[in-house]
Amino acid sequence: MSLKKISNSQPSKFEFSKENLLKVEKEIKKYPPDRKASAVIALLYLAQNQNNNWIPLEAIKYISRLLSMPYIKVYEVATFYSMFNLSPVGKYFIQICTTSPCMIRGANKITDVCKKLISKKQNELSENKLCSWTEVECLGACVNSPMMQINQDYFEDLDQIKASEIIQSLLNDNFPKPGSAKNRKSNAPEKGKTTLL
Ligand code: FES
């Protein structure tokens, strides 16, 4: 599991766009007025989407004011969950599951590919600034391990060759087709159905 990287280069200001302010209002209304802090995850997620997939510290301060929460409480949430990025992640953000089932089936070979093609250390941008990668805990697709998530999509049943092809394609600014590298449908057996024929 990686330590959360906080960007050294921070914007001096953050505000939600008009469109996102309407969404913020909707999120806050889901909770009683004295429980509006419950909207914190939704607001952090909106901030991340608005800011090229990472959350600047100014956004954390801004959200703490919106929700009348101490800054440190919002900071704690933002640093706890791996879904929140606190430094720029590039257009293609690759999260590799390195929990036991994926690790046993070769997740370390996928991280080796990332080290070779993207950056030696996780959470650093590739030379062309298009990609970055990080290790994460179980992403819930253990049965199709090893796997990685790229932006919102899952790539499963990987090996070193397939992972290299996918990452090379991203570095060329092409998003490949997500899903199983073995063309499995969901988590069906590789050779097709064996029961309920
Ligand atoms: S262990 Fe990798 S997806 Fe669950």
Mutation choice for ligand 1 from 102, 149, 158, 180, CB with most ligand atoms inside 8 A: 102
d(CA 78, CA 68): 16
* Ligand 1 center–CA 97 separation, angstroms: 6
* Ligand 1 center–CA 138 separation, angstroms: 4
Residue carrying structure tokens 């994926």: 102
Q: Residue 118 in contact with residue 153, Cβ under 8 Å? A: no
Q: What is the pLDDT of residue 3?
A: 67
Question: Which tens digit of pLDDT belongs to each residue from 43-94?
Answer: 999 999 999 899 999 999 999 999 999 999 999 999 999 889 999 998 999 9
**What pTM, to 2 d.p., does this model score?**
0.82
101 lines ligand 1 (CB under 6 A): yes
Q: What is the pLDDT of residue 2?
A: 56
Nearest to 130 by CA among 160, 181, 76, 94: 94
d(CA 21, CA 8): 27
138 lines ligand 1 (CB under 6 A): yes
In this predicted structure, the answer to whether residue 4 has a pLDDT above a threshold of 80 is: no
Question: Which tens digit of pLDDT belongs to each residue from 10-19?
Answer: 899 999 999 9
Is the peptide bond preceding residue 146 cis, with omega within 30 degrees of 0?
yes
103 lines ligand 1 (CB under 6 A): no
Neighbouring C-beta atoms of residue 99, cutoff 10 Å: 16
* Ligand 1 center–CA 140 separation, angstroms: 5
Q: Residue 130 in contact with residue 169, Cβ under 8 Å? A: no
Residue 141 alpha carbon, nearest atom of ligand 1? 3
Mutation choice for ligand 1 from 137, 147, 148, CB with most ligand atoms inside 8 A: 147
Q: Residue 143 in contact with residue 11, Cβ under 8 Å? A: no
